């Protein structure tokens, strides 16, 4: 690899938008995310507890050689993008969760509900234990 990653890159970072989502709380919120995932090539992911939707859409300024046609006047978000964040050289993202289809979301929700039930059961057991210990 040369001194500039972009010389060898396929410009993956310039082929999608990742936009923040409000953290889902209600059934309706999760149903909205389910609807997003019903659309072709949409990805929803959680990174450091924050939710995002990834929309596959290439930048209009991406040239056929994968370089930027407006590099000298590119937007701030592009200028602030660090080599360590690079999709080409950065390795795995380490997302908390990635949902590529509605089934992925259903699995996540099922695991989340099971975890909540285990916490509730454990809390009830602690309370019961505390009551018998003080009696």
Give the pLDDT confidence of 95-125 residue by residue, as tens digits: 899 999 999 999 999 999 998 888 878 777 7
Res. 2: pLDDT tops 50: no
Q: Determine how many CB atoms are found less than 10 A away from the CB of residue 43.
A: 19
pTM, two decimals, is 0.77
Q: How far is residue 69 from each of residues 9, 32, 60, 131, measured CA to CA in Å?
A: 15, 36, 9, 70
Burial class (CB in 10 A: 0-12, 13-18, 19+), 30: middle
**Mean pLDDT taken over the chain:** 87
Q: Can you give the pLDDT at residue 12? A: 84
Cα distance between residue 110 and residue 70, in whole Å: 46
Q: Can you give the pLDDT at residue 3? A: 47
Q: Can you give the pLDDT at residue 100? A: 96
Q: How far is residue 60 from each of residues 14, 108, 114, 133, measured CA to CA in Å?
A: 9, 35, 44, 68
Res. 26: pLDDT tops 60: yes
pLDDT (average), residues 16-31: 96
């Amino acid at each position: 690899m040369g001194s500039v990653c972009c010389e060898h890159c396929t410009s993956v970072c310039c082929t999608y938008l990742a936009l923040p989502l409000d953290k889902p709380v209600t059934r309706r919120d999760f149903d909205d995310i389910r609807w997003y995932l019903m659309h072709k090539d949409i990805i929803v992911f959680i990174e450091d507890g924050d939710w995002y939707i990834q929309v596959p859409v290439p930048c209009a300024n991406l040239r056929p050689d994968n370089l930027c046609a407006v590099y000298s006047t590119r937007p701030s978000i592009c200028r602030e993008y660090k080599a360590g964040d690079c999709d080409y050289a950065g390795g795995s993202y380490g997302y908390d969760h990635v949902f590529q289809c509605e089934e992925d979301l259903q699995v996540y929700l099922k695991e989340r509900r099971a975890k909540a039930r285990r916490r509730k059961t454990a809390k009830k057991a602690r309370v019961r234990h505390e009551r018998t210990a003080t009696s």
